[in-house]
């Protein structure tokens, strides 16, 4: 008897994962809002606005890390240009946020400030409809998906693999960054979008809006994790890892690797786009530096540090590296990149399976002793 | 007269049989004459060197045939012609009565029921033995279909039967990378069987196996006779003897002798080829 799809979907989760996800959601949706709103700012248990923004931002990065973990850890495809999809999602939603400013900008115009500055008289065609929240939400998904699908189709059909693929993704992101730096492209040049005021008419800086965005990001992160868990435990996931390990053998038993790679690649891009759209209103700015080469490489480092070939690893990696980064850039701003490089070397040489791999090894060693 | 023939006679053109617009050719295997494979006058040359020279070979349905011959006799080239990897310069290759192998691509040939096992076993080492067989199983292999694919009870039975056949039923959940060399070879054969091929081509299947494993492999192959047709290329004479089927000796790209092992081994020309003149 075939069980309903939803049961099979949920049965991909073991009891521990279910408990972990529930605890995480309870913390993010109930505990954090209460501690933020009810406790006075002086209390040691008060959760500050800074902390909410920081963790909210890192949760967006964690979604990107899962997306990277899927293609790299399970599909064997290393992208060094995933920043482009994150930024495209961010820009797509940023357009909506720019329109929500309305006449409250410096020039009191219906057009976004940068267009007034460029002496443009009307919205370019690709800004049409950007005042609609639903249209923006649609673009957040569709734009990264289309870019990834078209790029992926030609790259995978030409059997571009390994380091060659990584280099091309990096070139793609770099080219996009140069394009977005230009004022004429119509996305605010090197300043990008900022000074957002409202979402759906509500103030973007209010505590409530911050908590809503924080909670939404937590829910999306949890759903992404569950979905990815289900995906890798499906037959699709087994074929995908088989392609990673022995592509020609997979072809020989009748699967076409092109569509398997293209699906995970496009899905990964969409997840990055959604993460970017959640990131922009919380951080309050999107500019072309999100497409810089270093940013995209950092994504790969989160996954390497956390542990490839697992799904919890990328999340752990995103949190550890970014918490370290926010501490370092305050305490020793000039040494952060050196530390990042050192971290990458240490992990590559000593911890090929990342922190999660280290933890598993320690647990087995303990189990053997006991 | 079929509708297509009427249409053709009206518009007065003969459609090109190779055109993709032409209705797909009959691809069901016809073994009405009890022959599954015909190779007729096949010649393949590489830069003037004739790897196959007017090779004629006929394999009966359900037969187990051993191909032996010194190095360079053309055994692997023959396998390449049957599986579509190499196109013959001349001659014809038919699968059953109707299917012309020289016109099909490699995946098409795999799809119509010719499975080939290469010398070096390539299995998915990170996957369990069970998953290796699951991936190989004949089913809808399009990417989106695998998202919601699930194993029916008879699929599980099919995998369990194959596991028993290849003597790996105790190892179903072990990662395939941890198997011994001989077990990996069996798993590869199992993966081939999951695709339910009518004709199995096995290139040195017992290379690197212990004597015990070799004899068990022979038992396995003998048990497949009847349901499948097998063509085995092998150097190991003890193994060929254990298989007990008809033996074909290749030499310089054509058949030198054919018959049971004893008669072939006593053939004066075969002795000359193997021992040198």
CA distance B148 to A231: 10
Q: Any idea which residue has 């911050």 for tokens?
A: A210
B105 CB-near residues (< 8 Å, 6+ apart): B84
Domain that holds residue A281: 20-369
- Please answer whether residues B191 and B127 qualify as being in contact, where contact means their C-beta atoms are separated by less than 8 angstroms: no
* Cα atoms in the 13 Å half-sphere on the side-chain side of B58: 8
For residue B67, tell me if it sits in a domain.
no
Q: How far is A294 from chain B (nearest CA, A)?
A: 32
Confidence of residue B209 (pLDDT cuts 50, 70, 90): confident
The stretches of chain A forming alpha helices (DSSP H) are: 5-11, 15-26, 32-37, 49-68, 83-100, 113-117, 133-157, 162-181, 207-233, 235-245, 247-252, 257-283, 293-306, 312-331, 336-350, 354-369
CA distance A85 to A274: 9
For residue B121, give Cα distances in angstroms to A155, A234, B28, B185: 29, 25, 30, 6
pLDDT digits over B131-148, tens only?
999 999 888 888 888 888
Joined together, the tokens standing for residue A74 give 């399970």
Give the three-state DSSP class for A364: helix
**Contact residues, chain B to chain A, C-beta under 8 Å:** 107, 110-111, 122-127, 131, 134-136, 138, 141-144, 146-150, 191, 195
Confidence of residue B33 (pLDDT cuts 50, 70, 90): confident
Tell me what the mean pLDDT of segment B157-173 comes to: 92
Domain that holds residue B161: 120-196
For residue A4, tell me if it sits in a domain.
no
Closest to A97 measured CA to CA, from A59, A61, A58, A140 = A140
For residue B237, tell me if it sits in a domain.
no
Question: How many C-beta atoms surround the C-beta of residue B171 within 10 A?
Answer: 20
Per DSSP, the residues of A112-172 read -HHHHHTT--S--GGGTTTT-HHHHHHHHHHHHHHHHHHHHHHHHHTT--HHHHHHHHHHH
Joined together, the tokens standing for residue A297 give 């490489």
> Which chain A positions have a beta carbon within 8 Å of B127's beta carbon?
238, 241-242
Question: How many C-beta atoms surround the C-beta of residue A18 within 10 A?
Answer: 12
Q: How far is A228 from chain B (nearest CA, A)?
A: 12
| pLDDT exceeds 70 at position A284 | yes
- Please answer whether residues A173 and A88 qualify as being in contact, where contact means their C-beta atoms are separated by less than 8 angstroms: no
> What total number of domains does chain B contain?
1
CA distance A309 to B44: 46
pLDDT of B4:
60
> What total number of domains does chain A contain?
1
For residue A299, tell me if it sits in a domain.
yes
Residue contact A236–B146, C-beta within 8 A: yes
For residue A13, tell me if it sits in a domain.
no
- Any idea which of A72-81, A124-133, A181-190, B203-212 has the lowest mean pLDDT? B203-212
Residue contact B148–A5, C-beta within 8 A: yes
Torsion of CA B67, B73, B75, B80, to 10 degrees: -160
> Which chain B positions have a beta carbon within 8 Å of A231's beta carbon?
147
Q: How far is A76 from chain B (nearest CA, A)?
A: 13
For residue B218, tell me if it sits in a domain.
no
For residue A9, tell me if it sits in a domain.
no
pTM comes to 0.85
Give the three-state DSSP class for B54: strand
Mean pLDDT (chain A) is 91
Tell me what the mean pLDDT of segment B183-188 comes to: 91
Confidence of residue A75 (pLDDT cuts 50, 70, 90): very high
Q: Which of B136, B144, B146 sits opposite A253 (nearest CB)?
A: B136
For residue B274, give Cα distances in angstroms to A11, B69, B75, B271: 62, 8, 15, 5
Residue contact B136–A249, C-beta within 8 A: no
> Which chain B positions have a beta carbon within 8 Å of A235's beta carbon?
134-135, 146-147, 149-150
> Which chain B positions have a beta carbon within 8 Å of A353's beta carbon?
none
For residue A6, tell me if it sits in a domain.
no
CA distance A145 to A142: 5
For residue A177, tell me if it sits in a domain.
yes
CA distance A221 to A27: 13
Residue B178 DSSP symbol? G
Q: How far is CA B79 from the centre of its chain?
A: 8
Look at chain A and count its residues: 370
- Please answer whether residues B203 and B116 qualify as being in contact, where contact means their C-beta atoms are separated by less than 8 angstroms: yes
Residue contact A236–B147, C-beta within 8 A: yes
For residue B208, tell me if it sits in a domain.
no
Question: Which residues make beta-bridge pairs with B45?
Answer: B50
For residue A92, tell me if it sits in a domain.
yes
């Amino acid at each position: 008897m075939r069980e309903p799809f939803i049961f099979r979907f949920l049965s991909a989760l073991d009891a521990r994962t279910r408990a972990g996800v529930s605890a995480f959601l309870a913390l993010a949706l109930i505990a954090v809002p209460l501690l933020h709103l009810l406790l006075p700012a002086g209390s040691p248990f008060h959760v500050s606005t800074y902390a909410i923004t920081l963790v909210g931002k890192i949760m967006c990065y964690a979604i990107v890390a899962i997306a990277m973990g899927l293609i790299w850890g399970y599909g064997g495809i290393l992208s060094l240009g995933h920043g482009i999809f994150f930024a495209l999602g961010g820009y797509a939603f940023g357009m909506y946020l720019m329109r929500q400013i309305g006449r409250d900008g410096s020039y009191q115009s219906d057009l976004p400030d940068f267009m007034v500055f460029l002496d443009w008289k009307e919205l370019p065609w690709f800004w049409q409809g950007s005042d609609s929240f639903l249209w923006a939400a649609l673009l957040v998904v569709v734009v990264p998906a289309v870019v990834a699908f078209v790029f992926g189709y030609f790259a995978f059909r030409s059997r571009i693999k390994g380091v060659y693929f990584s280099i091309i993704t990096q070139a793609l992101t770099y080219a996009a960054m140069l394009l977005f730096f230009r004022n004429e492209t119509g996305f605010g040049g090197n300043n990008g979008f900022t000074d957002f005021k409202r979402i759906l008419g509500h103030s973007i800086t209010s505590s409530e809006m911050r908590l809503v965005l924080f909670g939404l990001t937590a829910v999306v992160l949890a759903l992404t994790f569950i979905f990815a868990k289900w995906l890798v435990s499906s037959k699709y996931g087994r074929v995908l890892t088989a392609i990673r390990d022995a592509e020609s053998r997979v072809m020989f038993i009748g699967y076409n690797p092109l569509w398997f790679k293209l699906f995970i690649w496009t899905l990964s891009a969409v997840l990055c786009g959604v993460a970017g759209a959640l990131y922009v209103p919380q951080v309050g700015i999107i500019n072309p530096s999100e497409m810089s080469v270093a940013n995209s490489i950092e994504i790969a480092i989160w996954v390497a540090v956390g542990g490839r070939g697992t799904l919890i690893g990328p999340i752990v990696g995103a949190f550890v590296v970014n918490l370290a980064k926010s501490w370092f850039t305050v305490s020793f701003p000039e040494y952060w990149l050196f530390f990042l490089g050192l971290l990458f070397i240490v992990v590559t040489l000593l911890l090929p399976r990342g922190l999660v791999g280290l933890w598993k090894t320690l647990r087995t060693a303990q189990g053997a002793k006991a | 007269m079929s509708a297509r023939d009427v249409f053709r006679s009206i518009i007065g053109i003969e459609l090109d049989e190779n055109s993709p617009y032409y209705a797909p050719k009959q691809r069901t295997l016809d073994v009405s004459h009890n022959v599954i494979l015909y190779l007729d006058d096949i010649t393949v040359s590489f830069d003037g060197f004739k790897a196959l020279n007017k090779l004629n070979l006929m394999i009966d349905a359900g037969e187990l045939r051993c191909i032996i011959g010194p190095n360079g006799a053309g055994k692997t080239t023959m396998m390449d012609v049957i599986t579509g990897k190499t196109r013959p310069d001349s001659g014809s290759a038919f699968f059953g009565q109707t299917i012309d192998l020289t016109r099909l691509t490699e995946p098409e040939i795999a799809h119509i029921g010719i499975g080939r096992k290469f010398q070096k076993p390539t299995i998915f080492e990170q996957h369990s033995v069970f998953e290796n067989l699951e991936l190989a199983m004949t089913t809808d292999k399009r990417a989106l279909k695998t998202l919601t694919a699930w194993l029916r009870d008879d699929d599980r039975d099919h995998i369990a039967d194959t596991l028993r056949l290849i003597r790996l039923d105790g190892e179903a959940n072990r990662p395939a990378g941890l198997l011994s060399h001989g077990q990996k070879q069996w798993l590869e054969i199992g993966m081939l069987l999951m695709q339910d091929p009518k004709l199995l081509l096995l290139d040195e299947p017992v290379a690197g196996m212990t004597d015990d494993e070799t004899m068990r492999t022979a038992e396995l192959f003998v048990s497949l006779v009847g349901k499948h047709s097998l063509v085995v290329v092998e150097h190991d004479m003890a193994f060929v003897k254990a298989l007990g089927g008809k033996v074909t000796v290749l030499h310089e790209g054509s058949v030198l002798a054919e018959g049971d092992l004893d008669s072939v081994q006593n053939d004066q020309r075969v002795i000359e080829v193997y021992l040198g003149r």
